[in-house]
Structure 1
Amino acid sequence: MKLAQGQIWRQGEEYYRIVKWARLSIEYKAMKDPATKQGTLHTVTKKEFCRLIKGAELLGPGGLSQTEAEAIPAPEEE
């Protein structure tokens, strides 16, 4: 798994969005609802962030989980 800026992770009722990705640290926002983008900003080491999201689900574009996003059929080309 690779961490990247802008990723949103869901663990239970909490959502974590990576705001700033650096070599040794992660700045993330903890939110209750990712649509409102309101939450608290935290800075931790990568190791601490990985422990935080252990068992969490990476959300894809539009707030869908990776498995839900993969299940959507691709548009057919003409």
Structure 2
Amino acid sequence: MKLEQNQIWKQGDLYLRIVHWDRQFIVYKGMKDLKTRQGAEQQVSKKEFCRLIKGAVLLTPEEARGEAGKEP
């Protein structure tokens, strides 16, 4: 699995977007709604992030746009 900036992962009802990707750490934003994109940014190691997204689904850009257009 290759992690890249701006990837959006769906873990249950939570969306995780990679805001900044670095060699040693990842800054991600946890969001409940892709339409508003409100959420808190957190910095974790790559290893911690990989554990966090275990079982999560990587959304394609088309899927992310579709999820953002959904009504709650």
Q: TM-score range by the shorter chain?
A: 0.7 to 0.9
Give aligned-pair identity as a percent: 61
RMSD: 1.0
Tell me the residue number matched to 1:2: 2
Deviation per CA, 1:23-75: give whole Å up to 9, x if none.
Answer: 010000000011211000000000000000000000011317xxxxxxxxxxx
Paired residues in the alignment total 64
Structure showing greater relative contact order (alpha-carbon pairs closer than 8 Å, 6 or more residues apart): 2
Could you say what secondary structure the match of 1:4 adopts? coil
What's the TM-score, normalizing by structure 1? 0.79
Pick the structure with greater CA Rg. 1
Gap runs ≥5 in structure 1: 65-78
User: Within 5 Å, which residues of 2 pair with 1:54-65?
Assistant: 54-62=54-62, 63=64
Tell me the residue number matched to 2:18: 18
